[in-house]
Structure 1
């Protein structure tokens, strides 16, 4: 069915495939940090210690640098040179790092340092730019887009894993270039418009949530730094763990798409603490049976946390009218700092003379207890939901139809979109809307995407809040 007059024909097409562009960025991180092709393959030849730790330190510093640069140059999506720098620096650095780790030349450590610094800076810039896109994307399926991207990244990871070493290096160097090119192609995607009732950032427990993110990331870094006893004698340990993590995220993706859950942030949060806690407990079992199961669950939980950070911090930046680079950039900086601290702690403990299997188990047990306390008291589903609950300022005695009519007028919705709005406000699903209005499912989704864009909301919960508040987007945002 043709779109009605006045509707942008391209809204909603982001779901056709370009959403997978973020997966190329994530796959690059997975290959670099979790396989021997780029960093760890010849690490024993280097005089400066753990190259993974060096790379993590440079990545953390790069996030801090991009956040500082954002005060002058953001939004980075509006600058063509940002795409060249993001893709080019990451690709060149990816090729230089393994060269520097071979030890075949006298300046090998310098080559590695230059490559790691270039890759880290390009990588940080690229993900911040993706965050700028997600914050303004005109769609109500951002969470499902993130899950689909991460699921696709596992496919890309296993392609690299199956390639010979040299081919895998070249392939990995192309991943950030592909991500930057796809991101550039997404610049023309329809943008949602800012709410006239912006989020009051003072009502959000930012400091407490960021401390929790930091502590969870410390646990992640520590556990990953202590996996050697489990991986000993199993050359495919990481591949099996990644297969489990990818399968879990793929299953959650399918579940979200089938259930059409309105609260995507809550759906993203649910697996984080349980998956990591159960994974650590499985690794604590003596003897550990199939330890890759525990490692895979930990990876799945942490990747869910990454997606939650991207979804929430970019949306909060949009609704709070603050820089995405500051909101998302600071959040991911704190997470990566936690990972760095945890990895450094694991490196120091495992190399200490007092290290023992008992201390290993005690460290894992302390991690489990820390996560359990965080999940029960300090970082709960209620805290996530608070980010999307704003004061009700609408007229309480107005009927639902009157509220929808007022919102439709403010957002300049078409007649058909106004009909869809009322059905959405009543909690109707897309299939129900199709039957009620005798329209195709694709047309219904097209109308829903247009409504979200015009009203400046990201999902069903945001739409319901806007109807109750009586506030919607205003035109002219760039």
Structure 2
């Protein structure tokens, strides 16, 4: 009994050590950028007159939203062939601009007579800085292993989740200081992340730089960005037309739809990563489109329950799309198909453009609905039709021949590896799929590579590898390779 407890404790300690090595706080800094967006424009922390989940299109918000969309598109193009790890001035300037813009915007808005010029200038500063931070963080994360990225990016969303519990209760000077501290924390973590990865040895150029851009890949990104823009247009329209404060928020004291929606979005993103065959936009919108349609269909009902479900679904969609978009673009960059700056700049620029146009349109449509010029049913039907037609642009995955098969015909060692795999398979009772995966592992391929080649989910590949190790009585990749060397 004691040995069993010791073994279990050892395994738990090993698992915690592995998680600590993968999930390091410094890599969660992108979550502070997402949290800043939420706390600035969807809570009353920075602007006391803003309550709940509604966004007011005042000069500071309008300047920030317009600037961030422009900055993402332009910076993604200009920085596409630069090594962002060496741009130390940007590591400092980006968070400083956001923090300075946040404080200036609060000062301009809280003055006895609002200073419109300062509001616009502060919004432009925060928009430019936040756009730079998004691209810089994508570059920093792209230097990690795929397995680590798939843990870090969803985990970063927990920052917004925690902020939804705290920031609705903060106002005045404490609120301004708290919101302004978020981009500064992100900037500090960004510098720490670049510092940790700068000494890492790369066999290829950094993901910020590629010899050429895959035209087909760029087409996929543009089409997906158009769909993201429409999806966020719909979400932005709902946000602009929503009540200033959700009834549940007034009763429970925190942003309930955002909290539940963000938590569910994180869970769905993790399930997507673990069980989907391939992380791409086709897989994402296959299950996300019905949810968005449901959110739009429930919106016309003004009862508390349908309104709550609609808001929660919008939060689920927002969290899921942000996480999966970052993972997909970074994955393309690591496969040398697209500079990470360009991919993130285009996709996130489209997201912000959708948010901007959606909120402006939502404000105008609210006036039409209030005057009776437009019925809510007609508006909802139009948004559903727009989203449904936009989904037709979602790029479908294309089948391609396995590169392992090409390598097998050209690599002299392939025949020996195949013979050893077949021998081990017969001796240890491996299944056909396990034998196939053993061949990839023997050639030094990683699990993400195997997933891509065999079109299997992360969970499926991990399960096969676990069974392989058990049947062959090895505990690590190195022990497996040693087993081949001994024969």
Q: TM bucket by the smaller chain?
A: 0.7 to 0.9
8 Å Cα contact 1:39-1:101 kept in structure 2: yes
Is it true that 1:347 corresponds to 2:363 in the alignment?
Answer: yes
Q: How does 1:102-141 map to 2 (within 5 A)?
A: 102-104=110-112, 108-141=115-148
1:87 aligns with 2:95: yes
State the alpha-carbon separation in 1 of the partners of residues 109 and 324 from structure 2.
34
Residue 286 to residue 55, structure 1, CA distance change in 2 (3 Å): same
Which one of the candidate residues 418, 428, 440 is aligned to 2:442?
Answer: 418
Change (3 A) 1:133 1:14: farther
Which of 215, 221, 225 pairs up with 1:201?
215
Task: After superposition, give the CA deviation of every residue in 1:377-397 in whole Å (9 maximum; x if it has no partner).
Answer: 3326xx2x44xx555455469
Distance in structure 2 (CA, Å) of the matches to 1:224 and 1:231:
11
Q: Is the 8 A contact 2:64 2:123 kept in 1?
A: yes
2:462 and 2:135 map into 1 onto residues whose CA distance is: 35
CA distance in 2, matches of 1:198, 1:322: 8
Map 1:120-269; keep pairs closer than 5 Å: 120-187=127-194, 188-189=196-197, 190=200, 193-194=203-204, 200-202=214-216, 204-228=219-243, 231=246, 235=250, 239-252=255-268, 255=271, 259=274, 263-265=278-280, 268-269=284-285
Greater mean deviation of Cα atoms: 243-252 or 293-302? 243-252
User: Aligned residue pairs: how many?
Assistant: 418
Distance 1:333 1:48, change over 3 A: closer
* DSSP-derived class of the 1:41 partner: coil
Coordinate RMSD, CA, aligned: 4.2
Structure 1's 356 and 314: CA in aligned 2 closer, same or farther, altered over 3 A? farther
Q: Which consecutive unaligned segments of at least 5 residues does structure 1 have?
A: 1-9, 407-414, 449-478
Q: 2:417 & 2:36 partners in 1: Cα distance?
A: 47
* Alignment partners' CA distance in 1, 2:75 and 2:254: 31
Instruction: Tell me which moved more, 431-440 or 188-197.
Output: 188-197
CA contact (8 A) 1:221 1:340 kept: yes
Map of 2:470 onto structure 1: 435
Distance verdict in 2 for CA 1:129–1:343, change over 3 Å: same
Residue 25 (structure 1) aligned to one of 15, 19, 33:
33
Q: Between Structure 1 and Structure 2, whose CA radius of gyration is higher?
A: 2
CA change 1:165–1:423 in 2 (3 A) is closer
Secondary structure, aligned partner of 2:157: helix
Distance 1:391 1:295, change over 3 A: same
